[in-house]
Structure 1
Amino acid sequence: MPTIFTHIAVPIAAKVAVGARIPASMLLMGMLASILPDFDGIPRQFGVRFEGIWDHRGFTHSLGFAMAVGMLGIGFAQRWGIAWWKAWLWMCLCCFSHPLLDACTTGRYGVPLLWPLSDVRFNSPWKFIAISPIRADSFFSARGLAVLKNELFTVWLPLLSAAVLVLLGRKMR
């Protein structure tokens, strides 16, 4: 899986691309939605193990879960000054970006993108994101630094480059 720092790249790039149309609170909620699927790993930190769809990279890494998270956005639509469906879509897309990025990692486990319709786990044919170490002692090591460098070049720079191009295109109109 990518690091928590890289999962937030999608909402940040969207903010760069569209600017003031995404207020700070909307950006923060999008960032939270983008990391929310990994909250399924918290029980593991306390020695609790689940199996199948209930384990890490289970149902929280699916379109069904992202659509449910999108419902949270509806409650913020008025505060953000946007239509309810745009708030839902924002939260849904930010959340769904998480399993899409996870599917592009060098891991073999895959993600159940179509849950609850199917438990089949998907892996992208393009595996360009290195698996992040989870334990702190591994993360703050040469391997952790190598993963962050990989994510900078394979996720952050392409996303921010695309966002800047969209921003420039909008300003040229």
Structure 2
Amino acid sequence: MPTIITHALLPLTAGLAAGPHRVSRQLMVAGAVAAMLPDADVVSFWLGIPYASDFGHRGATHSVVFAASLGLLAVLGRRSLRAPGWLAGLFVGASALSHPLLDAMTNGGRGVALAWPFEPDRFFFSWRPIEVSPIGARFLSTAGLHTLVSEMAWVWLPCVLLGALAWAVGRAKRR
């Protein structure tokens, strides 16, 4: 899995690129939380739930159903997110879905249960350039440093470039 910071970066970039007139600060924060939330399933390790279980790491919380559920919750909470229901649902749902899609581009683990509960198989993309992140204290190692460097190249840099492009386009439109 990429680091939790990297998961939050995608909705933060999208929200900043769209601008505060489209994506409120509250909605952007909700998207960042939704993008990180699937990894709450790491508690399964301490609860004795096997990794390969539907409710193990990268299981149900890494599915389209889970992302859609968070999107529906955002529709219900649209007033506090200061966004129209369709935008709140789409932004939060897409943010949550970005998590398993990034995980499917890593080079380790058991894959993601994107189609749970309809399909029990987990999958990866055939292109997997992102180093898988060590879990827990093992992150503070050479492997953790390799993960950060990999994420900088494959996620952070593209986000910065897209954000800069969106900023430049927005500035040009205002002139």
Residue equivalent to 1:13: 13
Distance 1:57 1:120 in 2: 11
- Give the residue type in structure 2 aligned to 1:155: V
Contact 1:108–1:123 (CA<8 Å) still a contact in 2? Answer: no
- 1:47 is displaced (CA, Å) by 4.3
Residue equivalent to 1:122: 123
Contact 2:71–2:89 (CA<8 Å) still a contact in 1? Answer: yes
* Closer/same/farther in 2, CA of residues 113 and 139 from structure 1, 3 Å limit: same
Is the partner of 1:5 in helix, strand or coil?
Answer: helix
TM-score of the aligned structures, taking structure 1 as reference length:
0.91
Gaps of 5+ in 2: none
Identical residues among aligned pairs (%): 37
- Give the residue type in structure 1 aligned to 2:40: F
- 1:16 is displaced (CA, Å) by 2.4
Residue equivalent to 2:114: 113
Q: Deviations over 1:66-102 (max 9, x none)?
A: 0001112113322333221110111100100000000
Residue equivalent to 2:151: 151
Contact 1:62–1:99 (CA<8 Å) still a contact in 2? Answer: yes
Contact 2:64–2:97 (CA<8 Å) still a contact in 1? Answer: yes
Distance 1:133 1:52 in 2: 20
User: What is the correspondence of 1:69-108 to structure 2 with a 5 Å cutoff?
Assistant: 69-108=70-109
Q: Deviations over 1:30-55 (max 9, x none)?
A: 111001111111131x3422442121
Residue equivalent to 1:163: 163
Contact 2:72–2:89 (CA<8 Å) still a contact in 1? Answer: yes
Is the partner of 1:111 in helix, strand or coil?
Answer: coil
- 1:163 is displaced (CA, Å) by 2.3
Gaps of 5+ in 1: none
Is the partner of 1:53 in helix, strand or coil?
Answer: coil
Distance 2:154 2:9 in 1: 11
- 1:108 is displaced (CA, Å) by 4.9
- 1:24 is displaced (CA, Å) by 2.1
Large movers: runs of 4+ above 6 Å: none
Residue equivalent to 1:28: 29
- Give the residue type in structure 2 aligned to 1:5: I
